[in-house]
Structure formats: structure tokens, C-alpha cells
Amino acid sequence: MQQYLELLNQAKEILQRNTITVTVNGKLYERIIPSKDFYVHQWLWDSAGVAMGLVHLHEEAAFNELLSLIVGQWNNGLIPHIIYNPGESKYYPPAEQWQTVGFTRDGIKTSGITDPPLLAIAAEYICDHASDEQKRRDFINTFLPSIMAYHDHLKCYRDPEDCGLLTIVHPWESGTDDSPRWDSLLNRIDLNMIPPDIKADVDLNRKDIKYQSSEERPTRADYYRYIYLINLFKDLAWDYTKILHETPFAVKDILFNSIWERANEALAALLQRYGNQEEANKYQRWAEQTQEALTNTWSEEYKQYCDIDVTQGRHQAIAVPTNGIFMPLYAGAVTDHQLDMLLHRLSNADEFYTGYPVPSTAINSRYFDKERYWRGPTWPITNYFIIEGLKTYRGRHHHADQLANLFMQKTIQMIRANGFWEYFDPLDDGTDDNAKGRGFSSFSWTAAIFIQLIKKTQHSK
């Protein structure tokens, strides 16, 4: 612990520096933004992740982080992936691009899509780690109705067929924007049919590559398609029944659904403790249904779980070797045979066992790109879920526990050697002098995960 004091202080300072105070309709909110350079608003899964680290420093701030996020909830229950902060212009696309005012409460500006639904998991985590009973109860009273409405909204509009797996409609909803998992779907959107004004808008106004190397970000074609999809949904007046029907991008994403499974378990546990048993049973049933559906996405041919392309009536497995294939560990959806295969792939130096594991795409895949966003770099975020997932299986396989501890040490080491970056070059292990951090620096979620991992190493002693 002593050896990490300096770094823990740095993590704490990053969270402090990235805290901003905003007034929305006369009310004051404190929020932690992901980074001061580009991500200057509040993101759903970032905020949820940050709250989990923050509870170890400042309980009230952790509760407030989640409460300040749900003020962006729509009347229909959707919690959007971005809650825009007024007066900030560093991010593209701007709030106006979504045309969602009228759906939100109190005129708060938001995006119109969601993020991996990490909120209930974060709420359970901070309730477990907070010591002030009164604050915990106050938080729960406000938070539980919102989170139930959010889960009900997702189940209703994203799983109308009641198969246990939610459908995402935009790569940004996956949290892994330019993952090669999405290439085959996005390539169906012919660039020639994207209206010239969308392309001109992207070319003129895109901000990320002004602050950072374009080699580390999604491509221009990706952005044309991202904005094309937003425009399409806007034209459908954010009617999700129509959107699911018409979008050229509709996927049962295994990462998103693994979090959905765990989130329903968390919500059921919170309701058991603080709410209604019947409601708890409902979310527990949803969790079990998703768990089984995830297990069934396994392909024996590819030795992996597969996302399912469900665009316009399709039902086609997407078998790309990314770190998403390990996410069903986090959902407890893994059979003994599947566990053996996953552990083998995680330990294979030709695939996922790199200098800084776990790369977002297997290094022997033709899609691997060590610099570009979700096409190769290692992310502390996904490492956290993989570590937690492996821990779930420690009683079943000793190697699961060994790997969890190893990845925990390596993630700590990666951050210690390079700093609190958004993502990292997966091929190196800090033995040369080149900085291996990629993306934006002083990244809030990386700081929060560092705090959580250090706490974990303490408890495992």
C-alpha cells in the first residue's frame, strides 16, 4: 500500500481536477468528466465506473455522481449515454445535433442512445462500501425508482422478442466504438449514400483529432457512419420501435449484455435489501434469462461467444476475436468447457497474453492495430471486468484465480509505469523508455479503477 501512496494521491488529484460544477435550471450539480481535453460532459458508464472508485475516497461524492447522472433520464425511462454540460464546446457532436429536447426532463440536454448499463452495478458497489446508513438510504430512495424505470425501458424496447439479450443500435452504445466486431455491419452503410452535409459537418467540426493523433482514434469513415445513424434516429423522432426496425446496425452485443445480466442481479439484490421482493424476483429472472442466452452464443467452431447481428431480420453470429469474448465470465454464464477454452486463449501469447494484457483485439487477428482505440489497445476498463469475471470462477478452476491476480498486477503496473491514460499499447511491458499511454491522459475512469484495484490487492492479502 505504502508503495502506491504517491500514485493513489495522483489518482485522487485527477478525479478532483476533472470535477466540474454545473448549474442546470438553477440547481447546482458536481460531476466528474472523463477528461478535460475532449470528453467534457458526463458519460453513463464512465460515471458509474468513476463512482465505484470514488466511494473509497469520498462517499458523498460517489452517491452524487450517480444522482447527477440520473437527472438526465428521459420521461420514457431511457438514461442516455451523454448528459451535456452547458457552455462546453470541446466535444463533437454537440448537444443540438441529437434534437432530444422534449424527451428529457427540465430541458436538460442529452444524447439519444445509451451505454453499457453499469448503473445498478455501481449503485450496489457503492452501497456495499459506504458506511453512512442515512446517506445510503437517501440515495436508494431517489435512485431505485429511476434505475427500475431504466431497466424496464431497456427490456421493453431493446428485447421486444423477450430472448434475454438486448439489442444495441449504434456502435457508441457498445462502449467499444470502432471494435472490429462492428466492421461487417458498418460496411453495409455505403459511404456514397451518406448525405454530403453529414460528411461536411464531420470534416469541419470533428474535434477529437484536433487534440490527439488520428492514428489513435476511429477513422473518418467511422465518423461519417456514426453521425449518419444519429441523423436517422433523429428523423425517426427517437421512436425505438421504429429505430429497431429500420437501423442498419442492430446487434445483440455480448459485452453490453454481460453487463446487463450483472446489472439485473445487482438491482435484484438492492431491491431485496431496500425494496420489494416481487420486484427483486422479476429482475433476478431477467438476469437468469440473459445468463442462459449468453451461454448459448458460444460457437464451438470459433471457440468463443459471438455477438449476433440482428439487423432487419438477420440472425448471424459475429465471430471476431476481441476481449469482448471474455465478458460472459463477468455474467457468470460460462460452462466448464467454455472456461477451459477462455483460460487457454487468455494465456496464449499469440492472442491475448501480451506484455500488457488484455488487448482489445487478439494480436494475431488481421484486425489488430496496436494504436487505434478499440482495435488493439489494452483498456483498464475491460481488464477490470475480466478480472472480476475470472474471480467469479476461482472456485472452479485454480488457473482462473491465478490469471485474475496476474492481470490485476499487470494492470496496476501498466498504469504505474505510464500514467493514467485512457488506453495503452498492449505489446510492451514497460521495459523500454517509450511512453505506452494512448488516447487522452489524466483519464478519470483509469484513476478510479486504479483505486479499486489497489483496494482489492489489500483485501486479498
So which residues are the catalytic ones?
177, 422
φ/ψ bin of 306: left (φ > 0), alpha (ψ from -120 to 50), beta (otherwise): beta
Give the per-residue contact string, 102-121, with ligand DGY (x = CB under 6 A; - = no): --------------------
Residue closer to ligand DGY (CB basis): 116 or 332: 116
Q: Could you say whether residue 81 binds ligand DGY (CB under 6 A)?
A: yes
Instruction: Please name which of 323, 316, 338 lies closest in space to residue 400, comparing C-alpha atoms.
Output: 338
Residue closer to ligand DGY (CB basis): 209 or 406: 209
- The least distance separating ligand DGY from the CB of residue 278, rounded to whole angstroms, comes to 36
Residue closer to ligand DGY (CB basis): 176 or 289: 176
- The least distance separating ligand DGY from the CB of residue 424, rounded to whole angstroms, comes to 17
The whole-angstrom separation of Cα 241 and Cα 403 is 42
Print the SS3 string covering 239-278: CHHHHHHHCCCCEECHHHHHHHHHHHHHHHHHHHHHCCHH
By CB under 6 A, the count of residues binding ligand DGY is 3
Residue closer to ligand DGY (CB basis): 353 or 373: 373
- The least distance separating ligand DGY from the CB of residue 90, rounded to whole angstroms, comes to 11
Strand-pair partners of 30: 21
Give the per-residue contact string, 263-302, with ligand DGY (x = CB under 6 A; - = no): ----------------------------------------
Q: Could you say whether residue 84 binds ligand DGY (CB under 6 A)?
A: no
- The least distance separating ligand DGY from the CB of residue 170, rounded to whole angstroms, comes to 9
Give the per-residue contact string, 153-172, with ligand DGY (x = CB under 6 A; - = no): -------------------x
Residue closer to ligand DGY (CB basis): 81 or 136: 81
For the chain, give percent helix, strand, coil, nearest 5.
Answer: 55, 10, 35
Q: Which of 177, 216, 351, 425 binds ligand DGY (CB under 6 A)?
A: 177
Strand-pair partners of 21: 30
Task: Yes or no: say if 447 and 53 are a contact pair by the CB < 8 Å rule.
Answer: yes
Alpha helices by DSSP H, listed for 57-165, are: 59-70, 119-129, 133-158
Question: Can you point out the beta strands (E) in 282-329?
Answer: 298-299, 304-305, 307-309, 316-318
Beta strand pairing status for 27-32 and 19-24?
antiparallel
Q: Could you say whether residue 421 binds ligand DGY (CB under 6 A)?
A: no
Residue closer to ligand DGY (CB basis): 206 or 410: 206
- The least distance separating ligand DGY from the CB of residue 220, rounded to whole angstroms, comes to 14
Residue closer to ligand DGY (CB basis): 260 or 423: 423
Task: Yes or no: say if 169 and 242 are a contact pair by the CB < 8 Å rule.
Answer: no
Residue 90 neighbours by CB distance under 10 Å = 17
The label of the residue with cell 424496464 reads 152
Task: Yes or no: say if 221 and 191 are a contact pair by the CB < 8 Å rule.
Answer: yes
44 CB burial (10 A radius; 0-12, 13-18, 19+): buried
How many residues can be counted in the chain? Answer: 461
- The least distance separating ligand DGY from the CB of residue 172, rounded to whole angstroms, comes to 4
Cell numbers that stand for 389 in this block: 469475471
Residue closer to ligand DGY (CB basis): 81 or 262: 81
- The least distance separating ligand DGY from the CB of residue 324, rounded to whole angstroms, comes to 16
Exposure b/e, 336-373, CB count within 10 A at least 16 = b:
eebbebbbebbeeeebbbbbbbbbbbbbebebbbbebb
Query: Maximum CA pair distance of the chain?
Result: 59
Task: Yes or no: say if 304 and 337 are a contact pair by the CB < 8 Å rule.
Answer: no
- The least distance separating ligand DGY from the CB of residue 251, rounded to whole angstroms, comes to 16
Give 55-67 as a DSSP string: TTT-HHHHHHHHH
Residue closer to ligand DGY (CB basis): 59 or 216: 216
Q: Shortest Cβ contact with ligand DGY: which residue?
A: 172
Cell numbers that stand for 399 in this block: 488457473
- The least distance separating ligand DGY from the CB of residue 46, rounded to whole angstroms, comes to 9
- Residues near ligand DGY, by CB under 6 A: 81, 172, 177
